[in-house]
C-alpha cells in the first residue's frame, strides 16, 4: 500500500501531513510513502530528509494522487474551502483520504466527497478515549493554538506580562482571563503563567475547575448551572439563550478587570456562543486585548471578524485562524505522529482493516462506497439512518 503526501494547497498553510521521522514506523507496517516534491519545505523538512528515510519524491500533485492508495493531508477538501475542490478530480474510487475534513461544515461538500467514491476519515472526529489519545490530532493542534494565542496577546498588549521589581518601582503582572478551559484554554493558562501573568479561567463544565487549578490558574465560579454541561465525548454542549444571557451578565465584571481575554468556547458542529458583547468590550480598559480562538465558527466576541484584527474603543480584537500553521515544524511533527499512529492501528498484514465495529474506525469514517456513513454526520444533516453494517 502506498501512502501519498501532497503539498498543502490552502493559502499560507505551511504544515505537512507526514514528517520524515515517522516513515520508518509506517514502513514496518508495510506502507510505502510517496511525497510531493517540496511538500515539507515550509515546515522545515526538505525533500532530502524524506528520501533519506526511504520515501519516494514525486514531482507533482497529480502523480501523488495517481500512485497512492491512501492520501494523507492536513486540510482536505471540506476544511480547505479555497482550493480543496481541485482535488475532487484527482480522487480515485476506493482510495482512502485522511485529514481534517470539517464534516459539519457543508452537506454539499461532504456529499461531493462521498460521490467521488473515496473512503474519507475525519481526524477531528477521533473519539476522546484513552485508546485513541495518541491519534487525537484535534487536541494536538488545539494545544498549539492555546500557546500561540498567549504569545500574540503578549506581543499586542501595551502591558508587560510578568511582575517586575525595577529601579522605577514594581510593575504588577498582567491579568489574563481564559473563557473555555478545553485543550486550547488549558494551554493558554499554562503559557500565560509561564510568562508571569496572573491567569484565571471560566468553563461551564464543573470538571474543568480542578484542571485549571492544577495549572496554577484561578477558576471563576458563577452562580449559574448549565444543563448537561458536556456530552459523552467531553465537549461542552449548546445551552439556551437564557443561559448565555445570564452568563454574559455575570462574566462582564471579570472581563472588565482583565488586561487580556482569550476565548476558546467551541461547540462541535454549531455556531460559537457569543460570550462577550460589544457593551462588555466598552467596559474594558484601553489597550486591552481579546484573542478569539472561536472566530472560525462565528466568534465568542460579538465584534470578532474572522481572520482579521480590529480595534474597537481602544480594545484590540484578534480573530486569528489557522494558528497551528504559524509553528509548522512542531505542528507537523505532532500531526504526523497522530496520523501515523492511526495508520498503524488500522493496518493488518499490509492492508487497512475498515472494521466499523471498532469505535475509532466507525467514529472517524465519514464516507465509504459512495455514501455518507457516519451516524453523527447523517443525524446533523437530517439524513435517514443507514442500516447497521457488519464488520
As annotated, the active-site residues are: 128, 133, 136, 139, 235
CA dihedral 171, 172, 177, 178 (to 10 degrees): 60
Distance CA 100, CA 339 (A): 11
Angle between helices 328-346 and 137-156 (to 10 degrees): 170
Distance CA 101, CA 121 (A): 8
Closest CA to 290 of 270, 271, 307, 309: 309
Which residues touch 33 (CB under 8 Å, ≥6 apart)? Answer: 2, 3, 5, 18, 23, 26, 27, 50, 54, 55, 56
* Nearest-5° Cα angle at 359, 228 to 99: 95
User: Which long-range CB contacts under 8 A does 367-376 form with residues at least 24 apart?
Assistant: 367/110, 367/113, 367/114, 367/118, 367/119, 367/120, 368/119, 368/120, 369/117, 369/119, 370/114, 370/115, 370/117, 371/114, 372/110, 372/111, 372/114, 374/103, 374/122, 374/125, 376/125
- Coil, strand, or helix at residue 99? strand
What number of residues does the chain have?
Answer: 391
Question: Cell 443507514 sits at which residue?
Answer: 386
3-state helix, strand, coil in the chain (%, to 5): 35, 20, 45
Spatial contact of 55 and 35, defined as CB atoms under 8 Å apart: yes
Task: State how beta strands 365-368 and 371-372 pair.
Answer: antiparallel
Radius of gyration of the chain (CA): 22
Distance CA 360, CA 133 (A): 11
Amino acid at each position: 500500500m502506498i501512502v501519498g503526501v501532497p503539498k498543502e494547497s490552502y493559502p499560507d498553510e505551511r504544515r505537512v501531513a507526514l514528517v520524515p521521522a515517522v516513515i520508518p514506523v509506517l514502513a514496518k507496517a508495510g506502507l510505502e510513502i510517496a511525497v510531493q516534491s517540496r511538500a515539507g519545505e515550509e515546515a522545515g523538512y526538505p525533500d532530502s530528509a524524506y528520501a533519506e528515510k526511504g520515501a519516494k519524491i514525486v514531482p507533482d500533485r497529480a502523480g501523488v494522487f495517481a500512485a497512492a492508495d491512501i492520501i494523507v493531508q492536513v486540510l482536505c477538501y471540506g476544511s480547505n474551502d479555497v482550493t480543496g475542490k481541485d482535488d475532487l478530480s484527482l480522487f480515485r474510487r476506493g482510495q482512502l483520504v485522511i485529514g481534517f475534513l470539517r464534516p459539519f461544515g457543508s452537506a454539499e461538500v461532504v456529499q461531493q466527497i462521498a460521490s467521488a467514491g473515496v473512503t474519507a476519515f475525519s481526524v477531528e472526529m477521533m473519539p476522546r478515549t484513552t485508546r485513541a489519545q495518541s491519534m487525537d490530532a484535534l487536541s494536538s493542534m488545539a494545544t498549539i493554538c492555546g500557546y500561540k494565542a498567549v504569545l500574540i496577546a503578549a506581543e499586542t498588549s501595551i502591558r508587560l506580562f510578568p511582575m517586575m521589581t525595577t529601579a522605577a518601582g514594581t510593575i504588577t503582572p498582567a491579568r489574563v482571563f481564559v473563557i473555555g478551559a478545553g485543550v486550547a484554554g488549558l494551554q493558554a493558562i499554562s503559557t500565560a503563567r509561564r510568562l508571569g501573568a496572573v491567569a484565571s479561567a471560566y468553563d461551564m463544565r464543573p470538571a474543568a475547575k480542578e484542571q485549571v487549578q492544577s495549572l496554577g490558574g484561578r477558576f471563576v465560579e458563577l452562580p449559574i448551572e448549565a444543563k448537561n454541561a458536556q456530552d459523552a465525548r467531553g465537549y461542552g454542549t449548546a445551552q439556551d439563550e437564557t443561559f448565555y444571557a445570564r452568563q454574559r451578565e455575570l462574566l462582564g465584571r471579570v472581563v472588565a478587570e482583565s488586561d487580556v481575554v482569550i476565548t476558546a468556547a467551541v461547540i462541535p458542529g454549531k455556531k460559537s456562543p457569543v460570550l462577550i458583547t460589544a457593551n462588555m468590550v466598552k467596559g474594558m480598559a484601553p489597550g486591552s486585548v481579546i484573542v478569539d480562538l472561536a472566530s472560525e465558527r462565528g466568534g465568542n466576541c460579538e465584534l470578532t471578524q474572522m481572520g482579521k484584527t480590529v480595534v474597537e474603543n481602544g480594545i484590540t480584537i484578534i480573530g486569528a485562524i489557522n494558528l497551528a500553521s504559524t509553528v509548522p515544524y512542531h505542528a507537523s511533527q505532532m500531526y504526523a505522529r497522530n496520523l501515523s499512529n492511526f495508520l498503524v492501528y488500522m493496518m493488518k498484514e499490509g492492508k487497512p482493516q475498515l472494521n466499523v465495529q471498532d469505535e475509532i474506525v466507525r467514529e472517524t469514517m465519514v464516507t465509504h462506497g459512495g455514501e455518507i456513513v457516519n451516524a453523527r454526520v447523517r443525524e446533523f444533516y437530517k439524513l435517514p439512518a443507514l442500516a447497521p453494517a457488519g464488520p
